[in-house]
Amino acid sequence: MRILVNDFSGHPFQIQLSRKLARAGHTVLHTYFSANNTPKGSTSALEHDPPNFAIEGLKIAGEFKKHSVRSRVFGDLAYGNVASARVRQFRPDVVLSSNMPLDAQRLLLRAVRDVNARLVFWLQDLLSVGIEFALRKKRVPFAGCVGLFYRRLEQRLLRASDAVVCIAPEFHSVMEKWRIGSSKTFVIENWAPLDEVTPRPRNTAWAKEQGLAGKFCFMYSGTLGMKHSPELLLQLARHFQAREEVVTAVIAEGPGADWLRRNAHQVRPGALVLLPFQPYDRLSEVLASSDVLITLLDRDGGAFAVPSKTLAYLCAGRPLLVCAPECNLAARIVQRALAGETVPPDRPQSLLEAAGRMLQSESLRQRYAANARSYAEKTFQIEEVTERFLEVFHFALGKRSYACSAPNDSMPLHAVTDAKAQTRIVAIPVEVNALGGISHNPSS
């Protein structure tokens, strides 16, 4: 089978899946957007990568400004065109698309149909809900109208996809509300690479480089948007600023990180340490330099986001402090694993009290840490995850079994000439002529 995995973000676990699919005998091309400033996985070729696997960071002409509304739309369309060109060159049997902006996904769907392939929509977030949420936060005029446009687009793209993979069962109610049936939707929860994020001793070389050795460190690591309530990190640092042995470390980029940098003067120097994203090959070392790892998500954001950083935290074998809605999957996983404490996002005092309990009790932290790694080892088995995705691909292809090598596997893996070129849901007939003439045949 020829498989193209397109992850706009370049996250670690999507790349791990692609490598595993290739080792299972499939010809796999993994693409991601190199200019998207998010924490990325192992994007370079590894010594043990098989010859039937390639990973490519796709580029667009011009600068990509992720948080500029006008620039973002043009950037998303440009990436959609580049990714679509790569689909037409590679000619896969199946495209698995993750974290893809909706404008870009529309173009990708057209390319998938052009090469008679099948599209599996990997639903990581309800993007249209997130778009409206972000625009309202910025007080952009007509945010509701824009949200409605993208909500209708997202619904059409989901209906036109040959299969949908949701990362949380909570998405089911939304699918039903959007009148998308259940016959082609699958639930596969996210995971993190066990062999890439491993427990390490507390005082790492990285901790010594950053002046964190010998300190008690609350740590947040990952993208920090405004939906992550960065003000809570500032309150945490302020709450413990009288204790010089306690530090709040934030390794992040994004609007929330920018907000923290502007407001860091409100706490004692040294109480709040702000750092940019660190190299992926040092992630285990970075996370091991903490005593408590923090996940934040506000109540509105909890409706459409499941922070995958929480899953890497579990692999690292550190206690977790999660401030998120109780219904959010990240909070429920930590409760299920007995790997830390969860508090509601609209009660800052509860966060500070939980942090105080964890600071005072080493035995409590040790118990949470052991449970965290144990849960990860039992749950994040890439072999099982890969089999589940293959079942989805077989469904999308209309088959129950599929040979590892399809006839067109003889086509070259590297066919690109210019990388810089400018649960289940019933297939419902859909016309998207206003969005570029896309149509979907439910019998395909």
Q: Which domains are present in the chain?
A: 2-191+381-440 (3.40.50.2000), 205-379 (3.40.50.2000)
Sequence-ordered strand ranges (E) for 80-195: 94-98, 118-123, 163-166, 185-187
What average pLDDT score do residues 380-389 get?
96
Q: Structure tokens of 311?
A: 């899953």
Look at 29-38, 247-256, 278-287, 344-353 and tell me which has the smallest mean pLDDT. 29-38
Confidence (pTM): 0.83
Residue 1: C-alpha distances to residues 117, 209, 234, 401, 403 (Å): 11, 46, 50, 11, 7
> Is pLDDT larger for residue 396 or for residue 43?
396
Please report, rounded to a whole number, the percentage of residues in the chain having pLDDT higher than 90.
63
The pLDDT tens digits of the residues spanning 155-209 come to 999 999 999 999 988 787 788 888 876 888 999 999 999 999 999 999 999 999 9
Task: Output the pLDDT for position 156.
Answer: 93
Provide the pLDDT confidence category of residue 300 given band limits of 50, 70 and 90: low
Residue 179's CB is within 10 A of a number of other CB atoms, namely: 10
Provide the pLDDT confidence category of residue 354 given band limits of 50, 70 and 90: very high
**Contact 317/372 with Cβ under 8 angstroms?**
yes
The secondary structure of 25-45 as a DSSP string is T-EEEEEEETTS-S-----SP
- Gap between the Cα atoms of 6 and 154, Å rounded: 17
Backbone angles phi, psi at 154, to 5 degrees: -60, -40
Task: Output the pLDDT for position 68.
Answer: 63
Task: Output the pLDDT for position 363.
Answer: 97
Run of H or E including 134:
helix 127-137
Task: Output the pLDDT for position 174.
Answer: 84
Beta strand 430-432 pairing with 246-251: unpaired
pLDDT at 221 > cutoff 90: yes
Look at 187-191, 271-275, 359-363, 397-401 and tell me which has the smallest mean pLDDT. 397-401
The pLDDT tens digits of the residues spanning 416-439 come to 333 333 333 223 233 332 223 333
Look at 59-63, 368-372, 410-414 and tell me which has the smallest mean pLDDT. 410-414
> Is pLDDT larger for residue 67 or for residue 141?
141
> Is pLDDT larger for residue 330 or for residue 408?
330
Residue 189: C-alpha distances to residues 109, 303, 389, 410 (Å): 24, 16, 11, 33
Q: Give the 3-state secondary structure of residue 370.
A: helix
- What mean pLDDT is reported for the chain? 85
